[in-house]
Structure 1
Amino acid sequence: MASITSPSGGLLPLRAPMSPDLIQPLTTCRIRSLSEENGTSSRLAQMGILPGVKMQIVRTGPFGGAVEVALDHGDLVALRSEEIEGMDCDIIAMPLTSVAVTKGTYRIVSLAGRNGFRRRMEELGLTEDARIEVLATSPAVLVRVAGEPVRLGRGEADKIVVEEASDGRP
């Protein structure tokens, strides 16, 4: 993910419109601004979708139509993918399979799977708050955790939500 360095030395996400390839379940972003096209911003504002609101994509409809999102004030709303694409957002967290994930150091925010998945990930050292280094994202996801390389399938990587590590620790 493209980023800039803050005055305190941490990484800040680069402001960017939500492109269609970033619209995937478990992606969380903070809205910076709304598009003024076709009155979309007033419709979104009426639903409580305003700059500064945190939004998580819950699920996407078939063929890129409707997208269900959870807002930080507790509402679940359905939006058209074009409305989301018109938002200017900072990506806060995303699945390991997101196109925004590149080689680098990340922190695991959450694991979206059930008990069996969580146990397996724990055995591999992949737990919430663990720091990982992404070595490759295609064809499979390869990460290093606690000095050991771990190869993950796409299905497993889809359930691991990460954010960029910002304090510079390895």
Structure 2
Amino acid sequence: MCHSKTKTGINSSRGFTLVEVVIVIGIIGVLAAVAVPIMSTFTKRAEYHSLMATLDQLLDAQDSYYILNNSFYPEGIRLIQINSGQEYDLPEIGFKFPKGHKHRFWIYGINWPALRLNYCIIYIFADDDYNGDGMNDYYLIMSYYQNGEPLKSGSITYDRYFQQIR
């Protein structure tokens, strides 16, 4: 700070010097350079966990529908496409995609009552690159049932089988 003496001999402050201002701005810049990447990482992690929570709720709703109807939603052989940002209500399973959600969902219900085969396949086209490979992520979730039991292939049980494609 720049000081000067008044007529009474008491020092008074007139403001900051240019060097002091530059040092403070430099410190703020360094703190911002450290904080921004950290916040970006936390934001990505929070969005990923939000996507997984949405998926868990959707799968719980599908399981409840299966218990009550002995088939997955949608009935028969159908596809429901939900675009990112689109508000979409699925009252049959008690689930609603809120307006402004960030990901695309494709929900297949494949049900053959005569064969007692029921498939629920969900594709998620994520709006972000959570795994850091430079491309938006893509997930596949499968539940395959025959005679009311999850299908098995070797060591894999197809009940909420989760796979990240990229």
Task: Establish whether TM, by shorter chain, passes 0.5.
Answer: no
Q: Greater share of helix residues, 1 or 2?
A: 2
Structure scoring higher RCO (CA < 8 A, sep ≥ 6) equals 1
Which structure has the bigger radius of gyration? Answer: 2
TM-score by length of 2: 0.23
Q: Greater share of strand residues, 1 or 2?
A: 1
